[in-house]
Chain A
Amino acid sequence: MTEPADAATPEETTRYGDGTGDPAGSADRNGSFDGYDPTGWYDELVEGSGMPRAAARELLAHLQSLTLDELRARQRAAEIDIAASGITFSLYSEAEGNIDRAWPFDVIPRVFSSTEWARIEVGLAQRLRAINLFIDDLYHDQVSLRDGIVPRELLESSPGWRPECVGISPAHQVWAHICGSDLVRDRDGSMYVLEDNLRVPSGVSYMLENRLVTKRVFAELFERQSIRPVDRYADDLLATLRSLSARPDPMVVVLTPGVYNSAYFEHSFLAMQMGVELAEGADLFVEDDVVFLRTIEGPQRVDVIYRRVDDAFLDPEVFRPDSVLGVRGLMRAWTAGNVAIANAPGTGVADDKAVYCFVPDLIRYFLAEEPVLDNVPTWRCEDPTHLSHVLANLEQLVVKPTNESGGKGLLIGPHATRAEIDDYRVRLRAEPRGWVAQPMLSLSVAPTLTPGGVEPRHLDLRPFTLQGATTRVTAGGLTRIALRRGSLVVNSSQGGGSKDTWIVDTP
């Protein structure tokens, strides 16, 4: 999993962060990377020796040829571009209600070599195929439970389990059509899957926007090297969605909870990119188990719904009766096979951090393959031996609720106070099924422009995997960074930022 050895000789190339903190640029002009020192971390762009990684060589040489002020000017240009384009995310605040914030973006890209990426791509596709076979099995014969691959209690206690879905057979045996996995790299350079987001994963629009901004700000770099384009995503998504319907020229819509949802920007972005309608619940109705769209020409039949609404709000007839976001009768239409829903209702059963632990076993069981990507070692508190290990080592572990997203409810042991740890001890004992624990990873870093100059910041990656008639993975994904020094929290709702992600062909 390490990078190919760097062929350049030290004399030819600037060294970054040799540990001395000495300026490395030429004497008459200070490069923006002078003094950059990632010592102690795995750096995505710089090797331990202080040499650029092969895939990042062009980028680093270019950045070093700029002064810090010149680099800051690029950053400002990017921020102006983002403000002018209205690339925002919404935050909910008690005081102001919903507020739109400009998307936080760092101008220095994060780079993968195409060789490493090829492996990750295979691993992600493999993972999603296994997860889908597992979900399909859960709602049919449950052979994986009978064979003891996954404990039955886990399924029965999962809040994502939907008895209404038993016996339903979505096209291609696929339930999760769009998956956003979170990948992290540890100090030794190994990549791990941290979690698989299978419900309504978001962020892909920012991946696409980040590229547009970077192309405007660093146009010259795209001429000199081969960076894989990301803009196929909308076409891939549309092809995936269309493959879910057997009707000729199927009508696809995106279903959004509406303008007040924090991901509305993305819902509208994707509908626009695909050239399909962005519908709210009230724009749809069901008659004779068929879904129709209210249009100016009268009702039109809908074949595929890319829903960005949680299961619980999909259909007030079946789930939450107070929901105004969904469509009455939608589940009847889906059950009758008259409409495809992506991701399918009931998919959430596999979006559970306790199920996550078993994904490598599921790959071996359903695909008879060895997993390409590893899980982060995880203790399931439901298992009494795991629980006692976790309780004895809380100070070293990260504890996560099994059914939350967005970094909510986390205990980061090494950073927690005595009182917080005691509080979690009580909560874990009271409801072990609700928690898992993982070792505190030493997340990799990448150079990031900060008020104090270019400094290392921790990051992760969210690639997106699509599965319909075929399986596709985005070229890269959304790189999220922790903007504060030393912080490991990358969520944009909690002060995280983002970077463009490059897959670069190396000779």
Chain B
Amino acid sequence: MHEFSICTNIVESVIAEYEKIEPGPVRLLKVRVVVGKLHQIVPETLLSAYEVLTKGTIAENSQMEIEFVDVCCQCNKCLWEGEIDYPFFICKECGSGDIALIHGKELYLKNLEVEYDETG
């Protein structure tokens, strides 16, 4: 259930970032988060957490979109670079297990989509 802990951070960040926007929008429509597949996030659980945790906040009724990032590595032996057959951290070129992670551990709030009224 780490989705709830992570979502607490998402909601706090969303509210903090929304309140910084000048001039202030009418409402928040959508938030986009980027999640590396190594985090083993269950999207449905994260989305339910978002719905629950945004109740009574300015983010209530906004939608969350999750962009997943594949797990990519670079081989320390032959320098091959690419997506691995997750969860197997094995070089697809030379079979070495000595490989370094390049992508797949991302976890950040990418953007907010907000609404302004035409006169604003």
A binds B: no
Binding site for B on A (CB under 8 A): none
